[in-house]
Structures are given as C-alpha cells and as structure tokens.
C-alpha cells in the first residue's frame, strides 16, 4: 500500500488503544449494515454546483448505517454515535461519498488535538477511563466542549431512519461560472426525529437498529432529505468544532429513498466510504480534520483487510 502520513498511523494506533482491537472490523463505526437506495435531487442547487448527483437525474446509492463504537459490540440501546455513509453511484461509472454522524459539531479542531483526546480516553491498566484526563483535555481545548455536550445529550434513535445526521465539515461547491460557495450538509429524517430513553432501550438486542430497519423496509421505503446550510463571508470553514449561525440560508438538495438491505453485505462491508471522495462541482474545504480522514480511513482499511 502507499505509505500513509505518520500522524494518521498514530491516530489509528491510538483509536485501537482507546476502543480495543477487533480484527476485520473498521477501527471506528465497527458495526454497520448496508442498504440499497436512490437519491433524487430537487433541482434547487444547480446555480451553486455542477455536481451531477445533486443537480441531474436520480442516481443509485449504497448506504451504510453504523454504530460509532470502535467495538462491534457497543449496544444500540446506548447513547453512542450513529453514522450514515452514502456512496452515490454516478452515471459516468465513478462514485462520490458523503459521510455523516448524529452530531452537529466535532470533538476536536485538529488531528493533533484528536490524538490528545484519544490519549485522554484510553483506559488505564485497570481497564477504566480516568475522567480527570478528559476534564484536562477540555480545559486545554475549550472549543471541544460543545461537541462533548452534544455527545452527552445525543438522542437514542428509535430507528436509523429517525435520526438527524450532519457531515460536519464545510465543503466548497463550485458552479458553472467557477464561483465558490461554502456549504455544510445535514440529513433530516422524513419520519421526523424520534428517540427513546436508555431505560426504554435497555432490552434491545446489541444490533437492534439494523434489525429494526430491515423489518421497517419490508413494509416500504424509508426517506431522508438532504439539506445544506450556506456560509456567509467570515463563517469558519477550517474548524469543525464551530457551528455556523442557525439563521444562515438553507436549501433542500434532494431525497434519499432507502429500499432494502444490499444482497452482498460482506462485499459492501469491505468497501471504504471516504469523506474526501468528492466529484466535479464539489471541493474539500481547508478543514485539517477532513484532510487527515482520508489517510486514517486508508490505514483502517488496510488493517481490517489484512487482520488474521
């Protein structure tokens, strides 16, 4: 494989230390399942981007929903992150990915801070995390506090189809005239946001949300709607711990219709959903966390593909 940057290797090493190592699984969002879908653009964003899947004909998509834990055994009834990774299959034979979680902002502003955070979250020899270490991290990097508040209060969704998901980073849309607009993506569930308490979810199976979605799809499709928030000059594009003001204009980009589990779960589990796999009409922002993710996902992919 191509050598990856040492920082990305060190980050994945520390993700394994913080969560444990589970051969064959992704080093984050370890347990997940993939579904067949289509994405139909609303036609409302063609003045801002030339991206074919956001402006043209409907496209097929593959969606992986996941529990964020690095262990595949984190129960779905717990207050853990949930992921949505969408791979849009474009008419020219290429793919483009959009990866989100049920958090509006991230918990570290740079890859270096994220590395320090992982160290603070790594259990000691007694197998326990030391809360003082996390407090120390938050005191040193107070910009991470909103992300941690969101982690502490995130809803436990009744379904993967009843959660809201954010792609968090800024991306840059480019239109036919070459003009640029910074955007942030968010998926809204057409069923509305619905959640349960930890007590109500206490008897759920570990992989309840996958089973729930499979049951629900047997009765009909589940839809999520893609929104974008448009930045105004001065809104930060390089700091994923900071939300943009809530009054920024928004557009409805399109509708994702999730239809059925994919036929070959093992094949799709083996793929990478890479947040930096963009397409013409979309560019990466200057967010350093977005930049390191490409390499970190490649390190995880290499390891999980070759685990004994």
CA gap 209, 135 in Å, rounded: 32
Binder of ligand HEM out of 148, 204, 208, 301 (CB under 6 A) = 301
Minimum Å distance from CB 290 to ligand HEM? Answer: 8
Select the residue whose beta carbon is closest to ligand HEM and give its number.
83
CA gap 71, 67 in Å, rounded: 9
Quote the crossing angle between the two packed helices 288-306 and 111-121, to the nearest 10°. 50
x-or-dash string of contact with ligand HEM, 115-154, rule CB under 6 A = ----------------------------------------
Q: What is the CA radius of gyration of the chain?
A: 19
Residue 157 near ligand HEM by CB under 6 A = no
The set of residues, in sequence order, having a beta carbon less than 8 Å from that of 279 and lying 6+ positions away, is 51, 52, 53, 90, 94, 96
Residue 229 near ligand HEM by CB under 6 A = no
Q: Does 297 count as an annotated binding residue? A: yes
Annotated active-site residue 29? The verdict is yes
Please identify, among the stretches 128-136, 153-161, 248-256, 289-297, the one whose residues bind ligand HEM according to the rule CB under 6 A. Answer: 289-297
Minimum Å distance from CB 130 to ligand HEM? Answer: 22
**Is 236 within 8 Å of 245 (Cβ atoms)?**
no
Minimum Å distance from CB 159 to ligand HEM? Answer: 17
Residue 289 near ligand HEM by CB under 6 A = yes
Burial 46-59 (b: 16+ CB within 10 A, else e): bebbbbbbbbeeeb
CA gap 129, 125 in Å, rounded: 9
User: Between residue 172 and residue 211, which ones bind ligand HEM under the rule CB under 6 A?
Assistant: none
Residue spans of beta strands (DSSP E) within 158-235: 165-166, 171-174, 180-189, 195-196, 222-230
x-or-dash string of contact with ligand HEM, 68-87, rule CB under 6 A = ---------------x-x--
Binder of ligand HEM out of 32, 147, 157, 189 (CB under 6 A) = 32
Containing H/E element for 300?
helix 288-306
Residue 268 near ligand HEM by CB under 6 A = no
Residues that bind ligand HEM (CB under 6 A): 11-12, 26-29, 32, 64, 66, 83, 85, 99-101, 106, 111, 114, 167-168, 240, 272-273, 289, 292-293, 296-297, 300-301, 304
* Active site residue ranges: 29
């Amino acid at each position: 494989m191509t050598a990856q940057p040492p920082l990305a290797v060190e980050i994945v090493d520390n993700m394994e230390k913080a969560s444990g190592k589970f051969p064959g699984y992704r080093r984050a969002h370890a347990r997940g399942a993939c579904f067949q879908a289509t994405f139909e653009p609303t036609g409302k964003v063609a003045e801002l981007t030339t991206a074919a899947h956001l402006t043209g004909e409907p496209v097929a998509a593959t969606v992986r929903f996941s529990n964020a834990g690095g262990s595949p055994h984190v129960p779905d009834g717990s207050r853990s992150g949930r992921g949505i990774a969408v791979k849009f299959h474009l008419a020219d034979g290429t793919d483009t990915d959009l990866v989100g979680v049920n958090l509006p902002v991230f918990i570290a502003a740079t890859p270096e801070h994220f590395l320090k955070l992982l160290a603070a979250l790594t259990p000691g020899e007694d197998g326990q995390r030391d809360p003082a270490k996390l407090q120390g991290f938050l005191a040193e990097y107070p910009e991470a506090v909103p992300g941690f508040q969101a982690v502490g209060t995130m809803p436990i969704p009744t379904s993967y189809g009843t959660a809201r998901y954010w792609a968090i980073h800024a991306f840059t849309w480019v239109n036919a005239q070459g003009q640029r607009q910074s955007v942030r993506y968010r998926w809204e569930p057409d069923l509305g946001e619905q959640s349960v308490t930890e007590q109500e979810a206490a008897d759920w199976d570990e992989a309840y949300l996958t089973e729930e979605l499979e049951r629900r799809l047997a009765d009909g499709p589940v839809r999520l709607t893609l929104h974008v928030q448009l930045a105004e000059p001065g809104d930060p594009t390089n700091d994923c711990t900071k939300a943009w003001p809530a009054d920024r204009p928004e557009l409805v980009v399109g509708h994702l219709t999730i239809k059925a589990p994919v036929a070959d779960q093992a094949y799709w589990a083996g793929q990478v959903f890479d947040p930096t796999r963009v397409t013409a009409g979309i560019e990466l922002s200057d967010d350093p966390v977005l930049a390191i993710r490409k390499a970190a996902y490649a390190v995880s992919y290499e390891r999980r593909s070759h685990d004994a």
